[in-house]
Structure 1
Amino acid sequence: MQNKHWENCLSIIKSKINFQSYITWFKPIKAIQFKNKTLTLQVPNKFFYEWIEEHYLELLNEVIIKVLGNEGKIEYEISKNEKLNSESNKIKEVVINKKNPKSKFDNLNKKFNFKTFISGKCNSVAKAAGKRISKSPGNNPFNPLMIYGGVGLGKTHLLQSIGNKISKNFNLSVYYITSEKFASQFIDALKENKLKDFTSFYSNIECLIIDDVQFFKGKVKTQEVFFHIFNQLNLNRKQIIIAADKSPVELEGLTSRLVSRFKSGLTVELEKPDYKTRLDILNNKIEEEGLLIEKDIVEFIAFQVDTNIRELEGVLISLLAHSTITKKSIDIDLAKSVINKIVKNTKIEIDIKYIQDIVSKYFNISIEEMKDKARRKEIVIARQVAMYFSKDFTNNSLKSIGFHFGGRDHSTVIHAVQSVNDMIDTDSIFRKSIKEINRRISVNN
């Protein structure tokens, strides 16, 4: 019976998503039981469960209701026989308790917290501000807190981490919502003549978190009601946290008075993560999920995927999925193949700066040290190796190569190349290092 129900589900799912997504995320799932209107599905690992719940929950809700009816449910089972329950019914809206409008509630995702939000130069100020707010919501100089940055840089993660911390530390009502959902609720309230209930509900929230406020663009009436709610909350010293894809001054289609409110507290930017932060994010995710991936492959992914955190984790998840489906170990070739499918323009032009970056990371020194006049042996060797590969991989003249290494002359480059060749001939360990650096430089091309 369970197989028949799941086959009916799959036939609908297959018509709703692209073939590759269907093969990757749904084909490996097996139905193992159907009892009490609950269909138990076996997934290969926890990654599958988390990915499906995050990206296909709405589709599964629709499909399960069609196949099993309104009372249908899904139960997931992973390899360790850990049960993970998920109701198939649509997510219920928060119900307003008119007798006690300040009763504690939140609709946050509990997996988002400060511990899993890996910090680096790109986001340390925003994280520090979030921690400060979570200790004293509403009574701090960062109200409102405006967080902005591009897609996939962790805005939602940080917003919900702050909300979860406040919810844990204080008996306060914390509510997270996207601007689009807010606008939709506002329209419904107008249609149902419940605008007073709508504004009363939001005016009584003690920590309001609004994501993607750029989508208020052009919605004049929605902006107006939000402006008044904002003022009421601010007047009552309630915490307001906002996120957008651009800084307040760059937001288009918003009224100047609303933008001025956004700018009245602290505005912080989430930037693209640097190599070290990307590496920390990957290692944290790998440790969290108990995975085994070779260090050089993790470094390769961190170096190649420099766009955003979402794509970085997406590559890791896809690698695991491909490895699970094909029953093959994760190697450089698989990583390269997955990255090329997920991240655009991953082929990198090999120039001197690129080589310096690779070599500096291998020897764990900075590019600045490589260009400096330092004579420490490890720095000299790294500098000579970078010059050696610059001559080998680029069309730059010896004079140009020397210029990129602190303005050194062509004779220094000649000496560097000769020294590296001599060490290759006489030192087997150094020879292996050169081979590895060569692989890292050329792996993209």
Structure 2
Amino acid sequence: MSVTAQSVWNNCLEFIKDNIQPQAYKTWFEPIVAVKLTDNALSIQVPSKFFYEWLEEHYVKILKVALTKELGESAKLVYVIKMENTYGNKQPFTEKIPSSNRGAVKSQDVDIPFNNKSPELKNPFVIPGIRNVKIESQLNPNYSFENFLEGDSNRLARNAGLAVANKPGGTSFNPLLIFGGVGLGKTHLAHAIGVDIKDKYPEKTVLYISAEKFTQQYIDSVKKNNRNDFIHFYQLIDVLIIDDVQFLSGKSGTQDVFFHIFNHLHQNGKQVILTSDKAPVDMQDIEQRLLSRFKWGLSAELQNPDFETRVSILKNKLYRDGVEMPDDIIDYVAKNIKTNVRELEGAIISLIAQSSFNKKEITIGLAKDIVEKFVKNTKREVSIDYIQKVVSDYFQMDVDTLQSKTRKRHIVQARQLAMFFAKKFTKASLASIGSQIGKRDHATVLHACKTVDNLSSTDKQFRKYVEDLSKKLSL
């Protein structure tokens, strides 16, 4: 490394250190490495593209002043960014930043090595039914197994995904249905499987598509009178990934066409991967013949991550973005945001933003303020544990009694109400609800829900129970 580059950068750092908050300096400037100095252009290496964008958004003025002070008005700053998960090209790219022209920063002088790809058909339905067209997979390479952290909440689904990626169409996990609530990583895992298959089997045709887009394209094919071409196109796919398959509910035409596509792919040893916000047994307005096929393979549930997994997710996010944060603050965020991964990452980004915008050090106090606002502005998802407690308190019994094997009428009804509200207010599967409320099976939960519906319409006192509990749980 050039000594001149290091000495220039050290002088810049001294100036910057005197003009910003210590925590901001530690977070955003200590990780930077001076690389070289050529023709009045100082090259510095930053940990990630996110890191570079943050510097450009918040610290470009102070960087310009510091560098001009050292190298004069003609000074230039060149970022060397460690890019990860690019399309097979592992070389870093550079972005030259004109020191005098802020407006040019984002749009000019950017050399991103994504131009090594031959032109491909971006929309697979531009020319329906044509053979030998190279199909763009629609996969996001940033969603990988590497950054999908394993924990108790997702171990089965992740390991099944790895097995499918190693041997697509050759395992008993066909179809593989990944289901769970919002923000738990269903889409990430589906993409990761596809990306891994493309790496291992470049000759295979992999296609990711949302059920919503699939439906729209089917409707277009009917309008254009080329439904058979639409079906034929999908039958050419080796690995088909359909996201949010519950969107097919009530759409009989789309379900019918998907049934034929599914059968063809399955019979020919092709892999089908589906994601859904609920288990097959909980899906409504999906034809039985299709549901039965969803159950042929493996249905793997993604649950809310436990504390250790949440901490790992936050640390991994910070590491990928090249940001440091004290462990006690990471622990605090992980303890207080439990619902899903998306909200976790959103909270940590908000924390970094507030710290930088308001020039505040990242402290527990600031973390409390952010988390409190974040949780308040996020729609609360009632947990099954909370529902059991509210129902037990209402009927003046403890949770153990509610979960017990007793057949006493008032306890059975309380248990059935807990199951009913768990289905209504949570994204949990019937099997998951049953296991948490007295280790019952999904059939018991289904029976409980039907019983509550029937009693609500025939028994005035029971209807009052339902109304009272609904108010308590909706607060």
Give the TM-score range, shorter chain: 0.5 to 0.7
CA contact (8 A) 1:117 1:158 kept: yes
Q: Structure 1 45/195 Cα, relative in aligned 2: closer, same or farther at 3 Å?
A: farther
Helix, strand or coil for the counterpart of 1:147? strand
Q: CA RMSD in A?
A: 3.0
Out of 37, 54, 59, the residue aligned to residue 44 of structure 1 is: 54
CA deviations on 1:137-186 (whole Å, 9 max, x unpaired) are 01111100011100000101100000000011101111111111110111
3-state SS of 1:299 partner: helix
Q: How far 1:343 moved relative to its partner?
A: 2.1
Aligned to 1:93: 123
Matched, 1:140 2:150: no
Deviations 1:291-311 (A, max 9, x none): 111110000001111000110
Q: In structure 2, what is the Cα distance between the partners aligned to 1:319 and 1:92?
A: 37
Using the alignment, how far apart are the partners of 2:191 and 2:330 within structure 1?
27
Write out aligned runs for 1:210-289 (5 A).
Answer: 210-289=242-321
Uncovered stretches (5+) of structure 1, i.e. residues with no partner: 1-41, 49-73, 354-445
| Preserved contact between residue 123 and residue 136 of structure 2 (Cα < 8 Å) | no
Residue identity opposite 2:293 in structure 1: R
Aligned residues: 277
1:193 maps to what in 2?
225
Please state if 1:301 is matched with 2:333.
Answer: yes
Matches of 2:237 and 2:188, distance apart in 1: 20
Kept in 1: contact 2:122–2:135 (CA 8 A) = no
Give the distance between the partners of 1:116 and 1:47, measured in 2 at CA. Answer: 26
Q: Distance in 1 between matches of 2:270 and 2:333?
A: 42
| CA deviation vs aligned residue, 1:347-381 (integer Å, no higher than 9, x gap) | x9xxxx9xxxxxxxxxxxxxxxxxxxxxxxxxxxx
Gaps of 5+ in 2: 1-51, 59-103, 116-120, 386-475
Q: C-alpha separation between the residues in 2 aligned to 1:164 and 1:247?
A: 24
Measured against aligned partners, the alpha-carbon deviations of 1:263-316 in whole angstroms (never above 9, x if no partner) come to 010111101100000001001111111111111000000111100011001111
SS at the partner of 2:54?
coil
Measure, in 2, the Cα distance between the counterparts of 1:282 and 1:270: 18
Paired residue for 1:130?
161
CA 1:286 to 1:77, structure 2 compared with 1: closer, same or farther past 3 Å? Answer: farther
Q: CA 1:311–1:141 in 2, change beyond 3 Å: closer, same or farther? A: same
Deviation, 1:323, is 2.2
Give the superposition deviation at 1:47: 11
Residue 143 of structure 2 is aligned to residue 112 of structure 1? yes
Give 3-state SS (helix, strand or coil) of 1:343's partner: helix
Return the letter of the residue paired with 1:320: I
Asked whether the equivalents of residues 203 and 232 of structure 1 are also in contact (C-alpha less than 8 Å), the reply is: yes
- 2:349 maps to a residue whose letter is I
SS at match of 2:324: coil
Q: What are the superposed Cα offsets for residues 95-143 of structure 1, whole Å, 9 maximum, x if unpaired? A: 5586644745311000011110001000011111111111110111110
- Is residue 162 of structure 1 aligned with residue 196 of structure 2? no
- The one-letter amino acid paired with 2:235 is S
Distance 1:165 1:158 in 2: 10
The alignment partner of 1:112 has SS state of coil
Equivalent position of 2:369 in the other structure? 337
Q: Select 2:347's aligned residue among 303, 311, 315.
A: 315
Please name the residue that 1:368 is paired with: none
Label 1:47 to 1:292 Cα distance change in 2 as closer, same or farther (>3 A): farther
SS at match of 1:44: helix
Aligned mates of 2:305, 2:373 — CA distance in 1 = 21
Give the CA deviation at 1:85: 9.4
For 1:203 and 1:46, the matched residues in 2 are separated by 47
**Per-residue deviation, residues 220-260 of structure 1 (Å, max 9, x unmatched):** 11111111111011011100000101110001111111111
Question: Given that residues 186 and 195 in structure 1 are in contact (C-alpha distance below 8 angstroms), is that contact kept between their aligned partners in structure 2?
Answer: yes
Conserved 8 A contact 1:75-1:83: no
Q: Kindly tell me: are residues 86 and 77 of structure 1, through their superposed partners in 2, closer, same or farther at Cα, counting changes over 3 Å?
A: farther
* Counterpart code for 2:220: D
Measured in 2, the distance between the counterparts of 1:307 and 1:115 equals: 22
CA contact (8 A) 2:157 2:300 kept: yes
1:97–1:195 CA distance, 2 compared to 1 (3 A)? closer
Equivalent runs, 1:344-363 vs 2, <5 Å: 344=376
SS at match of 1:142: coil
Q: Give the 3 Å change call, closer, same or farther, for CA 99–184 of structure 1 in structure 2.
A: closer
| Equivalent position SS for 2:152 | coil
Separation of aligned partners in 1, 2:368 and 2:218: 46
Distance in structure 2 (CA, Å) of the matches to 1:99 and 1:245: 34
- Counterpart selection for 1:208 from 227, 230, 240: 240
| Alpha-carbon spacing, 1:108–1:236, altered in 2? closer, same or farther (3 Å) | same
Q: What letter matches 2:54 in structure 1?
A: P
Moved over 3 A (4+): 45-48, 74-78, 81-87, 94-105
Distance across 1 between alignment mates of 2:361 and 2:306: 28
Whether the 8 Å CA contact 1:208–1:239 is kept in 2: the answer is yes
In the alignment, what sits opposite 1:53? Answer: none
- Distance in 1 between the 2:177 and 2:247 partners? 15
> What is the DSSP-based 3-state SS (H/G/I as helix, E as strand, rest coil) of the residue aligned with 2:225?
coil
Cα distance change, pair 45–131 in 1 and its aligned pair in 2 (3 A): farther
